Each structure stands twice: as C-alpha cells, then as structure tokens.
Amino acid sequence: MEQQIKNFREKRGWTQEELAKKVGVSKGTINRWEKGASTPSKLANERLTQLGVTENDMNQYQKKVDGKPFHYNGERYVVKPQPYVLNAPTDQNNFHDLLINLQEHLSCDIPWDTYKERLSLIECVDTLTNRTSQSLLEKRKENSKSWNSNYGTHGWHRYIGRFPPHLVRALLNYFKADSNDLILDPFAGSGTTLVECRLVGIPSIGIEICPLSALITNTKSKFPKLDENEVFNVISELEIFYLTEWTNFLNNRNFDDITYEDVIGREGNAIKTFANYERWFSKEALLGTSILVQFAREKEGYIRDAILVALSSKMRSIGNVDVDVVRAEYSKKPRENVNVLNLVTSQLSKMAKNIKESYQTHKSLITEEKVRLIEGDVLKTDLPEGSISHVITSPPYGIESISYLRTHLLSYRSLEEFLGADPYKFGDEVIGSEYLPSEEPTLSKFDVSDMSQTYKDFFKQFLEQDLTKKIKVRVLMMMKFFDDMNNLAIKLQKWVKDGGKVAFVIGNKKIGTTIIPTDQIIREIFESNGFIFENSIGHKLKTNNSNSQVPWQDKIIKDEFVMLFQKETD
C-alpha cells in the first residue's frame, strides 16, 4: 500500500514543498512522513485533517508507520513489515499480507523468542532494534520496493525459475517446522529450500537430477564456518598459479600468434572441444577458464566446489553469451578484455563474506550441516516410509527442463570433467523434457487419466483434433509431465508422515494459445493419492525485482499457484 499522505498529496497534484507550506512544516518533514521515518505531530494532524486527510487515512498511515498486529500462541505482538512490503506496488500487497498472515498461529511449540527471529517479510518485532534474522541478512533500504532474493548464499549463481526464499521461509513457519522435522524438496534446483532450512536450523533433504544444479545446491546449502583467512589464502594461491600458467603459456607471444587449438592442447587443460567453441569463447577467456579448471582439479572438498561454482556463476560474463535470452545463444558482439581471474576471485571473496554474514545474522538459528542431497531421478529414488515431515518444491514448469540445462551450457562444457554430463543427452530422463520418443499420444497410455477428470477432459479435446507435429509433441510432453506428477504424488504419499504438509508451486502453461488447467489437474492428482487440499495462493512470483518483466514467463505461463496440501491421517 502506498503512503496515505503521499496518495493524498499526489491526487491533488501538490509537490512536497507545496504541502509543507500548507501544513507549516519543512519539505524534509513531508518526505520523512511519506517514507515512514516519522509521524505527524498532533498539530500537524489537525492541519492535515483541515486540508481533507480523513481520520481513516491517518489511521491507515499510522498503522503503516507503527506496524501491524501479529498473533502467536494467544498473545498479540506488533511487527513492522520489511520496507518492500510497505513500499511495494499495489499488485503485491495481498500476496505480502497473506505470507505474513500464514505465519500466525493460535498454537505452536516453537518458543516465541526463537520464532520471531525466523519470521519472513518482517523487519522487526516490538521495537526497531529487535530485528529478524532475515532482515539483518537481506539489508533492505527504507525506500526499497522489492525484496532481495540473493541474500546470504542464495545469490551465488543465476538460476532460471528460482522461487523466492521469502516464500520458503514463510511456508516453513506456516508448517511450524523445527529441528525435529525433515523437509524434502524433490526438485532441489539451485537449493533455495535447502538453504532456508539450513539458515533456520531445520534438517532437509533434496533430490536433483542435474549435476550442475546438484553442485550449486550442495555448495550453497552445506557451507562450513570458514575462516576468511583460509579463503584469502586460496585466492592468493590461485592468483599466483593463474599468472604463472598464463605467462608460461604465452611465452612472450600475444593472442594473435596463438590458435584455439594451442589453448586446447595446453598441458594441464581439461576442457574438451565442442561444437563452435571458438564462437562461445575468446581465446583469452578460454585460456583463463582452462587455468581455473586446472587449479580446481588440484583442490578437494568444499573449497574445490566453491571454486567451480564461482567460475560457473561468472560464465555468462566470461563467454560470448547473449544474456537477454533464456537458452544459451551467441552474443552478437563478442566479449573483449575478459579477466577470468578477477571475475572469479571477486566472486570467491563475496562468497566468503556471505558465509560470515549468514552465521552472524542467524547465529541463534543456524546449525551445522543437516543437509542431504541425492543426485538422481526422484521417480527412481526411495526414502523410508513416513520419514518426511513436510515438502516444499516446484517442478520444472516455467520453460522446458532441457532449456534449464542449456542456460548453463558453457558451465557444462567447461566443467565436464567434474559434472560428467552433456545437457543435450539427458533426453526423457528429466521430468518436463521436450525430448521424448516419437509416438502417438493417447489417454490410455498414462494412469493419470484415472486420477484426474480435468486431465482426461482437457487432453481428449486435443486428441480428437488433427494436430500438427509441433502441437502433438507439446501434447505428449504435457501428458507425460502430469503422469510424472502422479507418480511423484504416489511416492510422497508413502514418504510424508500422516498430517504432513506439501507446498507445491506450479504454473499454468499453454499448448498453442490454450491454457492448461495445471492447478486443477495437480489438485485432483494429489487428492486421488491421499492428500487433502488446503488452499491455493495465486500470484505471479517475482524472484528478485517485483517490478521486473520476465518476457518468457508472460509468454508461456498464464498464472502461478502455491498449492497447499495435507496428507490424510488414518
């Protein structure tokens, strides 16, 4: 909600200076009122009322400045939302309020002194000095209009389709999850759920089929309490190694005197040739990347993984990549003067700082590593019956899953020795893949037809038409996707304990121009497998900037939903 006084002023076309003269205060005072940094005096209130500001306007304004009531275990507290909640565009207000309200409880075993520190979207409780751990780590300014989803280790690596950690933390609080629980994310992605669990001291387990994603998740969520000197020593060692290898290779030559084949044939190089690699890298960038990979080979454990993630995270600044598209494509203007060493060492320094800040801001919540990651296909994974307390996840629904992999094509090519995977050869092993065996889609092929009437009715209308080859592939892909979701629900029904909750983030995609009723199909699938539907929160999720426009998202996704279920109890 915008500031009430600011709305009143702007509706009348007054500047801050004009309103200040009418009220008898300075322009700076008006500015502080509108930012929520101070409140009008009794006399100023009277003058504002005379000008036409209603009592309701002032009550709303005062509520915004002083905070909002928050109820927990029968007690009433006052919380001040984070700045981006107060300053957000109006289309974000209901969503923010709902996430805050989800965290209120009539009864919860978590002590208030602990619970209040882990609140999401809340800046402080009772007093301005009693700040939450999230607000300390996120460090939003008072005029911020959007949240920062890159706080702590979250921002170490770009990842298409990442959902905001604020949502995950709010859901953990809604679930009343604590150190005695085990949270599952069967599509771990870049590790948002696992990182949030780590920060607030809740054991977690993730499943992820993509090797690069698994590496990112492991590194972001299993960070040790590193001594900063240890990181700086590694950086110093890397700088010496890099410059030595660089100098020895060039041997007083310039890059006009060497070929790409010379770089690939360099002793110690581990990067193999791949299609059009000379278009993806300048010779300088390829040499720098080669030296970094060589250095990482000589390390082990967490330090090695951190170096690889730092290198991968900067790949779009190293390679000739068009950053304005989802899939990896050449940049029309090749990058020049790429300094791989500076990019990676700067990232490593940032990562060390983020780890230190995470321990400082969450010192009473964070625990040593209670994170487990299984690298593999969730549908081929087995977990003990009733071992999972709750689930927070989002399957690959935004763009086709193979496209997620290709976004990081150069990372897969450069780190092939460590990842052992080719993003073009995953095929139908990945849920949401558009590369399936060529066959005719039929309703009888998939069991989900018996689980969801909406699924049956929706796809029947397509199968009765004369489909183009392109549409036929799309239909088969989506039918297979829902069948995979049904098989997942069967697994979750076994793994989740009675009464456990599931948060499932999904979007309604399209076939051609026809919107797929994904949320209704998912609801029927879960209900058919022993889950009770609780609620569905419809909202376009913006991971970083609430005002941002994501071209591919609006093109292929109509709506997004946070769907909440509870497993039936015997």
User: Tokens at residue 353, please?
Assistant: 């700082």
Task: Tell me the domain boundaries of the chain.
Answer: 4-66, 69-148, 192-211+367-402+422-567, 228-359
User: Tokens at residue 478, please?
Assistant: 């989506």
Digitized pLDDT (tens) for each residue of the chain, 570 residues in all: 335 777 778 777 788 888 888 888 888 778 777 766 667 776 777 778 878 776 555 555 444 555 788 999 999 999 999 999 988 888 888 899 999 999 999 999 999 999 999 999 999 998 777 899 999 999 999 889 899 999 999 999 988 778 899 999 999 999 999 999 999 999 999 999 999 999 999 999 999 998 999 999 999 999 998 777 788 899 999 999 999 999 999 999 999 999 999 999 999 999 999 888 998 999 999 999 999 999 999 999 999 999 999 999 999 899 987 655 555 666 677 788 899 999 999 999 999 999 999 999 999 999 887 999 999 999 999 999 999 999 999 988 755 555 566 678 889 999 999 998 777 766 556 766 555 566 777 888 888 989 999 999 999 988 888 878 888 888 888 888 999 999 999 999 999 999 999 999 998 888 888 889 999 999 999 999 999 999 999 887 776 544 444 443 444 456 789 999 999 987
Q: How many whole angstroms separate alpha carbon 147 and alpha carbon 83? A: 8
Count of H-run helices and E-run strands, the chain: 26, 12
Question: Which of helix, strand or coil describes residue 566?
Answer: strand
Please answer whether residues 294 and 269 qualify as being in contact, where contact means their C-beta atoms are separated by less than 8 angstroms.
yes
CATH classification code of 4-66: 1.10.260.40
Question: Which of helix, strand or coil describes residue 506?
Answer: strand
Please answer whether residues 404 and 160 qualify as being in contact, where contact means their C-beta atoms are separated by less than 8 angstroms.
yes
Q: Please give the pLDDT value at position 547.
A: 45
- In CATH, what is the architecture of 192-211+367-402+422-567? 3-Layer(aba) Sandwich (3.40)
Residue in the structure block whose two tokens are 């565009």 = 89
Furthest-apart CA atoms within the chain: distance in Å: 81
Q: Please give the pLDDT value at position 399.
A: 52
Please answer whether residues 414 and 211 qualify as being in contact, where contact means their C-beta atoms are separated by less than 8 angstroms.
no
Task: Report CA dihedral (213, 216, 222, 226) to the nearest 10 degrees.
Answer: 170
Q: How many whole angstroms separate alpha carbon 1 and alpha carbon 62? A: 13
Output phi, psi for 538, to 5 deg. -90, 120
Beta carbons within 8 Å of 102's beta carbon, 6+ residues apart: 170, 171, 173, 174
CA-based nearest residue to 553, from 259, 161, 177: 161
Q: Please give the pLDDT value at position 67.
A: 74
Pairing of strands 560-567, 496-507: antiparallel
Residue 491, number of CB atoms within 10 A of its CB = 17
Identity of the amino acid at 473 = V
Bridge-partner residues for 70, per DSSP?
77
Question: Which of helix, strand or coil describes residue 525?
Answer: helix
Q: Please give the pLDDT value at position 362.
A: 97
Identity of the amino acid at 52 = G
Domains 4-66 and 192-211+367-402+422-567 share a fold: no
